């Protein structure tokens, strides 16, 4: 496992306490799990994701990620409608381990609130919470 100071945490991304990240892209938000989360899980072997068109409240479970160590639930960092799902993860779930903030994104959401990212942590706040 990585040292906490070696975990990649981009500045332009917001983080949930449950270790999902959210990044605004136009009027949509891309979602995945943080570098810290994928590192803690180990090699990811399967991802279960929702269908396009489904809607979820903030904090609701939207899928699971399975690694060689455990199965973990995925929670919505923002509420809204699923606009896209990263189909590449079906055949290559390891993309989450390799590039969690680019190729390893999981879902794209049309948020149900204009300030959807407001309740999430910045990079500094998330790092502070990880150091506990």
CATH number at residue 83: 2.40.50.100
Q: Do 11 and 109 contact (CB within 8 A), yes or no? A: no
What's the pLDDT at 28?
Answer: 97
Q: Do 42 and 2 contact (CB within 8 A), yes or no? A: no
Asked, for residue 10, whether it belongs to a domain, the answer is: no
Query: How many separate domains does the chain show?
Result: 1
What's the pLDDT at 5?
Answer: 87
Q: How many Å is the maximal CA-CA distance in the chain?
A: 38
Asked, for residue 110, whether it belongs to a domain, the answer is: yes
Q: How far are the Cα atoms of 3, 5, 21, 54, 109 from residue 50, in angstroms, in the given order?
A: 32, 33, 17, 7, 11
Asked, for residue 114, whether it belongs to a domain, the answer is: yes
What's the pLDDT at 108?
Answer: 98
What's the pLDDT at 104?
Answer: 98
Q: Give the pTM.
A: 0.96
Asked, for residue 8, whether it belongs to a domain, the answer is: no
DSSP secondary structure code for residue 119 in this structure: G
Asked, for residue 13, whether it belongs to a domain, the answer is: no
Asked, for residue 5, whether it belongs to a domain, the answer is: no
Domain holding 51, by residue range, is 18-131
Residues 6+ apart with CB under 8 A from 124: none
State which residues of the chain have pLDDT below 50.
none
Q: b/e string for 97-115 if b means 16 or more Cβ within 10 A?
A: beebbeebbbbbbbbeeee
Asked, for residue 91, whether it belongs to a domain, the answer is: yes
Q: What are phi and psi of 9, to 5 degrees?
A: -135, 90
């Amino acid at each position: 496992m990585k040292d906490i100071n070696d975990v990649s945490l981009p500045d332009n991304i917001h983080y949930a306490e449950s270790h999902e990240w959210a990044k605004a892209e136009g009027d949509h938000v891309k979602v995945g799990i943080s570098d810290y989360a994928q590192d803690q899980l180990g090699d990811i072997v399967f991802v279960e994701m929702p269908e396009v068109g489904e809607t979820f409240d903030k904090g609701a479970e939207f899928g699971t990620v399975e690694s060689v160590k455990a199965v973990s639930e995925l929670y919505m960092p923002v509420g809204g409608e699923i606009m896209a799902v990263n189909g590449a993860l079906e055949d290559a779930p390891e993309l989450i381990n390799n590039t969690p903030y680019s190729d390893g994104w999981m879902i794209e959401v049309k948020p149900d609130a204009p300030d959807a990212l407001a309740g999430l942590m910045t990079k500094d706040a998330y790092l502070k919470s990880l150091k506990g």
